[in-house]
Amino acid sequence: MMMDHRFQPLAYSDESAENQAVQRWRADFPILETNVHGKPLVYLDNAATTQKPLAVIEAENLYYRHDNANVHRGVHALSQRATDAFEAARLKVQRLINAASPNEIIFVRGTTEAINLVAQSYGRSRFKAGDEIILSRMEHHSNIVPWQILCEQTGASLRIIPINDAGELELEAYEQLLGPRTKLVAVAHVSNALGTINPVRAMINLAHVHGVPVLLDGAQAIAHLPVDVQALDCDFYAFSGHKLYGPTGIGVLYGKTALLDAMPPYQGGGDMIRSVSFDGTTYNTLPHKFEAGTPNIAGVIGLGAAIDYLTGIGFDALIEHELALLTYATQSVIDIPGLRIIGNALEKTGILSFVLDGVHPHDIGTILDRQGVAIRTGHHCTMPLMEHFGVSATARASFALYNTRAEADKLAAAIYQVKEVFGR
């Protein structure tokens, strides 16, 4: 390849031309001031985890400084304050996803634990040999492995919805898979490796025709799309706080009351019981039945602050910005010789996965890092999906509300630098 492809920014990428709002949002995130390898950080690994606004950092800090106590257990003032803050955060989650009741909001460690909870509590007591669980080809390992474990325990088996070359689910094939053996459908709302937004509303309708409940893995949707669990009519919804500008170690399982009520506890311990005697134990009501032990109180409060932050910005503004940025970044890289975008769904969030001829993604990642550009390289915990595209790994840039066109320019410039280093 000739070396005449010097980087040309697509548009006037001066900071002043950047949307004023985005500059204000950036100022909320202290870490964005960081330099790496002597260059300003360009953080494009938001699908792995997002950065945290000061409001979240401060909420955890203030809780530990002023309110720290165990929840649901004390008569003293601090315990009451901690409990109030904790339960207030549950209401924020309820409003964020429009759940019918706060009792349908179960705090867990993250998406992974939420899915494991459903597999073990809902699946294990119900599924048997011959039953089928439908997943898709694009699932994250955390929406595959818990079901594989369940299959080993129960004799149930997995059926996989195929995808097309754009990275969209094959809906006719999905319809064919649904049948009397189907006991559950578990699919990603948004794919972490491709950015595809799946047509989950229609998929849920189809499943419900067969009386089959649906779990949505919302890890990649929750910070980028408005989610209304009642409008979707999903039966379970799982997400992680750290992907929506909140802390790590806290996440949410939403479940419809009727389903959660009928499910046995996932773990036993304090808080999840009403009374314990050696003759038997009666379990607590929802949501406490599924929250054994001292929870991640600070994490829950931080998550509440993250939700306030996000809803303060509003999904309309955020979606407009992230979509425009995805389009801009896509156009900036699409003509780079040898570059192939993996994931060209019509409906996408701000995820740009790509491979470059003759350069392994890992090498791309190292060279970009030296320019301060943080991306993720590897299989993104979606090995079956990588296999579909015939690659072992991709390079993935993923955008958040604080990313700018100037940063997309830096991404493109850094990819040209990869080509220069590789002499191609």
Ligand X SMILES: Cc1ncc(COP(=O)(O)O)c(C=O)c1O
Q: Which is nearer to other proteins, 280 or 423 (CB)?
A: 423
Considering CB distances under 5 to 8 angstroms, the limit depending on partner class, which of ligand X, other proteins, none binds residue 240? ligand X
Site string for ligand X, 230-259 (x = CB under 6 A): ----------x-------------------
421 touches other proteins (CB under 8 A):
yes
Considering CB distances under 5 to 8 angstroms, the limit depending on partner class, which of other proteins, ligand X, none binds residue 379? other proteins
Do the beta carbons of residue 108 and residue 237 sit within 8 Å? Answer: no
Site string for other proteins, 359-378 (x = CB under 8 A): xxxxx--xx--x------xx
The dihedral through the CA atoms of 260, 266, 270, 274 has a sign that is positive
CA–CA separation, 58 and 46 (whole Å): 21
Work out which of 52, 90, 140, 321 binds ligand X, going by CB under 6 A. 140
Considering CB distances under 5 to 8 angstroms, the limit depending on partner class, which of other proteins, ligand X, none binds residue 103? none
Do the beta carbons of residue 362 and residue 380 sit within 8 Å? Answer: no
Q: Which is nearer to ligand X, 118 or 418 (CB)?
A: 118
CB of 297 to ligand X, least distance (A): 19
Considering CB distances under 5 to 8 angstroms, the limit depending on partner class, which of ligand X, other proteins, none binds residue 220? ligand X
Q: Which is nearer to ligand X, 103 or 111 (CB)?
A: 111
351-356/394-398 β-pairing: antiparallel
Q: Which is nearer to ligand X, 140 or 419 (CB)?
A: 140
Site string for ligand X, 81-110 (x = CB under 6 A): -----------------------------x
CB of 101 to ligand X, least distance (A): 24
Amino acid (1-letter code) at residue 162:
P
Strand partners, 40: 35
**Which residues, 316 to 335, sit near ligand X by CB under 6 A?**
none
Q: Which stretch binds ligand X (CB under 6 A): 78-86, 140-148, 310-318, 383-391?
A: 140-148
Q: Which is nearer to ligand X, 351 or 359 (CB)?
A: 351
Q: Which is nearer to ligand X, 19 or 49 (CB)?
A: 49
386 touches other proteins (CB under 8 A):
yes
Our answer to whether residue 381 is catalytic in this structure is yes
Work out which of 42, 163, 219, 397 binds ligand X, going by CB under 6 A. 219
Considering CB distances under 5 to 8 angstroms, the limit depending on partner class, which of other proteins, ligand X, none binds residue 366? other proteins
143 touches ligand X (CB under 6 A):
yes
Q: Which of 56, 292, 381, 411 is catalytic?
A: 381
What does the H/E/C string look like for the chain? Answer: CCCCCCCCCCCCCCHHHCCHHHHHHHHCCHHHHCEECCEECEECECCCCCCCCHHHHHHHHHHHHHHCCCCCCCCCHHHHHHHHHHHHHHHHHHHHHCCCCHHHEEEECCHHHHHHHHHHHHHCCCCCCCCEEEEECCCCHHHCHHHHHHHHHHCCEEEEECECCCCCECHHHHHHHCCCCEEEEEEECECCCCCEECCHHHHHHHHHHCCCCEEEECCCCCCCCCCCHHHHCCCEEEEEHHHHCCCCCCEEEEECHHHHHHCCCCCCCCCCEEEEECCEEEECCCCHHHCCCCCCHHHHHHHHHHHHHHHHHCHHHHHHHHHHHHHHHHHHHHCCCCEEEECCCCCECCEEEEEECCECHHHHHHHHHHCCEECEEECCCCHHHHHHCCCCCEEEEECCCCCCHHHHHHHHHHHHHHHHHCCC
**Which residues, 115 to 134, sit near ligand X by CB under 6 A?**
none
CB of 128 to ligand X, least distance (A): 27
CB of 274 to other proteins, least distance (A): 44
Q: Which residues are catalytic?
A: 381
Residues near ligand X, by CB under 6 A: 110-112, 140, 142-143, 188, 192, 217, 219-220, 240
Residues near other proteins, by CB under 8 A: 358-363, 366-367, 370, 377-379, 383, 386, 392-393, 421-423
